Amino acid sequence: MKKKNPWFIFFWIMFFIIIFMLMNSVRQKGPEIDLDYSQFKQYIKVGSISKVLVASDLIKGQFRDSDGVLKRFKTIPMNDPNLIKDMEDNKVLEFAAVEKNGWLGPLFFNWGPIILLILFWIWMMRGMAGGSRQAMSFGKTKAKLASNTAKKITFKDVAGCDEAKEELQEIIEFLKDPNKFQKLGGKIPKGVLLCGYPGTGKTLLAKAVAGEAGVPFFSSSGSEFVEMFVGVGASRVRDLFEQGKRSAPCLLFIDEIDAVGRHRFAGIGGGHDEREQTLNQLLVEMDGFNTKEGVILIAATNRPDVLDPALLRPGRFDRQVIVPNPDLKGRVEILGVHVRKIKLDTDVDLNVVARRTTGFVGADIANLVNEAALLAARNNQKTVIMKNIEEAIDRIISGPQRKSLLISDKEKRITAYHEAGHTLVAKLLPFSTPVHRVSIIPRGPSLGHTLLLPEEDKHLTSKTELLDRLAVAFGGRVAEELVFSNITTGAQGDIAKATEIATKMVMEFGMSNKIGPLVLRRPNEEFFLGRDISRDARHSDKTSEIIDEEVKSIIDEAQYKASNLIKENINILHKIAYYLLERENLSAEDLGNIMKGKDLASLTSVTTQIQEHKKEIVVKNEIEKEQTSSRKIQRENIKV
């Protein structure tokens, strides 16, 4: 145990003595003169005494001396029964008796402040020497050490990223047996950076590495290093690495490292000095510690493009491991992990579910399984059935059903034809994504939705596929215009998506004949300056006009293609819309039968009803046209 410096103790003792003396001097208003009892009686007789306080063992008061100055006095009392009579006869203005005080009151009054100072000093010393939970411990790291009693996460709990697990296998082997690498002269990476989209399992993967290696795991977040006090972040970085060295071999994990690892001097108004000090200290610590100590740093981020280059150079984060979005096989494995504690019905096929969740990451799949279990519990089911999982997929993609939303018959017909337009164009185009389901039940912000699901994972998209995707996007708007001779705001989202795709085709993908294979816009905008105020000035105003013309040309071509397809198959459009109004939901099988000219079961006289449905729409459109024309004539007459 470290001995305390005796001069340090002497200093504090003298400090308390001085404080005590100052407090006593402040508490006393002036010196008290000791008088003999005979002098006291004499002053009473001459009328100099103005105030007397009599206690059992002491008499205090005030008197005026020969110069008329008011002074304080004290004297020892004697057995004098005439004292009160003498004070009354000589007109002493104030006199009273004082109750005898106990020993506790004076002791606390005299020594209480000094005792409080001692307790405060002890508390301060403990706070400075204690952990991060005590006072004055701002410089201590907030990294949490994983409990040994908690269930360890291993690679069995991580699925869908086999390549990433292979990359991290060397780290595990080094932590288990460092001599294996040191004998050959090899150096294990000092730091490993896990990169991937949010929800792909970067943090889970880091925990699994620690669980596989069986070593302590310190986890912290990048935002925990920066505080309102200057220098706290750098101090916490130093403390984190010191704890790691004391617990070696171990793993240090920093989640969302981009909070402190951004480019220095980036952004409007210069850099953030405190954050940059923290980053500089992190750079020094990573460059200074040796992997022979058995300390490995793992960091995670979904924004590797904003990290400072000095952080990514060899010798710091030597290895970058990409945690990708899971493919079909990976999604099946992830589903297998998450359904271990779920009671599934025999009709649930995980391969089918995996095909219907293209683009889902691990967090989405975990949410999907949980939503399905909640839906089954809400319906008092004993097992989770396929219908629960399909409903959960729809909730995640499009939002929950809005059963309480009241929609007029007219808006419901418009929605049915809008979705029928999307569906019809998607079924007719050979390179379009297959239609899985179409519905006119409101979900989230939309009044209906057409669910397109690819049959397999795709990593490349051709120009033909993009053009077909644009045509499908305009199918709803074109159907509204052809059937009702009018358009609505329902196609706003479709137009926005189509414009974005067409713009990327011209400016990023090189799919324009006039522009050619040029990239005129960075795929990743400058996030430091913001998307709106950072403008790429690598092309002229003339080129901008050509870009606008090309984007409009692609949009017009897609709209023309959708219009021709719907005009040529208008009867099928009416049929799909009719069935949507009747059933509200149509599956891929139902749509296949409709396209083949078959009538769906359980409905009679389908052809006659569809004809009446078409006539009803025509009549209503004519009425609306007459009403519009009448209102126009009335407005003109008012103007005249």
Report whether 610 contacts 578 (CB < 8 A).
yes
Question: Do the bridges between strand 191-195 and strand 317-322 make them parallel or antiparallel, or are there none, so unpaired?
Answer: parallel
Dihedral sign computed on CA atoms, order 67, 72, 77, 82: positive
Question: Do the bridges between strand 94-97 and strand 49-54 make them parallel or antiparallel, or are there none, so unpaired?
Answer: parallel
Q: Which residues 6+ apart lie within 8 Å of 398 measured at CB?
A: 443, 444, 446, 449, 451
603 three-state secondary structure: coil
Considering all CA atoms of the chain, what is the largest pairwise distance in Å, rounded to the nearest integer? 134
Report whether 206 contacts 171 (CB < 8 A).
no
Distance separating alpha carbons of residues 129 and 123, to the nearest angstrom: 10
Q: Which long-range contacts (CB under 8 A, 24 or more apart) does 29-35 make?
A: 29/72, 30/71, 30/72, 31/72, 32/60, 32/72, 32/73, 32/74, 33/71, 33/72, 33/73, 33/74, 34/73, 34/74, 34/75, 35/73, 35/74, 35/75
Written as six digits, the tokens of 350 are 């995980």
Distance separating alpha carbons of residues 219 and 207, to the nearest angstrom: 9
Report whether 489 contacts 434 (CB < 8 A).
no
Distance separating alpha carbons of residues 322 and 193, to the nearest angstrom: 8
For residue 578, report the phi and psi dihedrals to the nearest 5 degrees.
Answer: -60, -45
Catalytic machinery residues: 419
Residue reference for tokens 């050490």: 145
Report whether 59 contacts 44 (CB < 8 A).
no
